[in-house]
Amino acid sequence: MVVGTLKIRLYVPWVQSLKEKRMVVKSLCAKVKNKFNVSIAEIEDQDIHKSIVIGFACVTNDNSHADQILDNVIKFIEAITEGEIIHIERENSY
């Protein structure tokens, strides 16, 4: 069993309030979860309205499959959001 984890930090300069940030995060999480069936949650910076940090996890039986899923998640997020990805951390564990 391989667990792939991914942490993405996004900068969203147009967000002016925490309420607006929550709407962006909720929409992003729903779209990613529906498309890829990964576990997803906002994991840091909940009180900073221009920064979004989201964590993802997937479980599979192959290291390359976990990498493929996480690569597809990154590409999908780049395509659907106007936010700038400023940092990515990823890890696969057995």
| pTM for the predicted model, two decimal places | 0.87
Q: 4-40: b or e for each residue (b if 16 or more CB lie within 10 Å)?
A: bbbebbbebeebeeeeebeebbeebbeebeeeeebeb
Say yes or no to pLDDT of 73 above 90.
yes
CATH classification of the domain holding 15: 3.30.70.1120
Pairwise CA distance, residues 47 & 64, whole Å? 35
For residue 50, the enclosing domain spans 2-93
1-58 pLDDT, tens digit per residue, is 899 999 999 999 999 999 999 999 999 999 999 999 899 999 998 899 899 999 999 9
As for how many domains the chain has, the answer is 1
Percentage of the chain beyond pLDDT 90 is 81
26-36 pLDDT, tens digit per residue, is 999 999 999 99
